[in-house]
Amino acid sequence: MSRVEIYTKNFCPFCVRAKQLLDSKGIAYQEYPIDQQPELRGPMIERANGAYTVPQIFINDHHVGGCDEMMALEAKGQLDKLLNA
């Protein structure tokens, strides 16, 4: 099973949507709430090549992007391949 990490904020609808998709697939993930742990914001931006919006999603240290990018992978049938790698 892949290692999934997601940087989030509490009241972010895109974060909720991304986590709902992962939950619906039964995928465990490590969540980093940057509104509660602001010291994680800098490392998130660095890992995400300058992206500063949430969510930022990583699968096996591969930067997927945000919610829209993950949903696009799902629509193309490519997300499951990443998650099961």
| pLDDT 10s digits, 51-85 | 999 999 999 999 999 999 999 999 999 999 999 97
CA atoms of 9 and 55, how far apart (whole Å): 8
Please state the domain extents for the chain. 4-83
| Full-model pTM | 0.95
Q: What is the pLDDT of residues 11-61, one digit of tens each?
A: 999 999 999 999 999 999 999 999 999 999 999 999 999 999 999 999 999
Superfamily for 4-83? Glutaredoxin (3.40.30.10)
